[in-house]
Amino acid sequence: MSLPPNTASRTRRKSRVIPEQRHCFFCIHHIEEPDYKDVQLLGRFVSSYKKIAPTRRSGVCTSHQRKLKTAIKRARVMALMPYVPE
């Protein structure tokens, strides 16, 4: 025996909430490329577990996200930033 189709769920429309658009931190402050020596700035884009934050969480555009990733990795190699939490 099959159940009758639920017509209420098919006809109900989902309201779409448009999220507020976030702007890139580096674009707003006219920073072309993040500097690997600026550890305080890079620390904003690293989680408490020292993982690099994804684009959707950091709010950085894709081109700056790639440059940010490279800068954080360079800072880690130069021992300016830790790889793991202390």
Which tens digits make up the pLDDT trace of 4-40? Answer: 666 555 666 777 877 777 789 999 999 999 999 999 9
Q: Quick check: helix, strand or coil at residue 5? A: coil
Class of domain 23-77: few secondary structures
Domain spans of the chain, in order of start: 23-77
* Tens-digit pLDDT profile for residues 50-63: 999 999 999 999 99
Q: Which helix (H) or strand (E) holds 7?
A: helix 7-11
Predicted TM-score (pTM) of the model is 0.74
Distance of alpha carbon 68 from alpha carbon 86, whole angstroms: 22
Please report the sign of the dihedral spanned by the C-alpha atoms of residue 33, residue 38, residue 39, residue 42.
negative
pLDDT of residue 13: 72
Q: Other CB atoms closer than 10 Å to residue 58's CB: what's the count?
A: 19
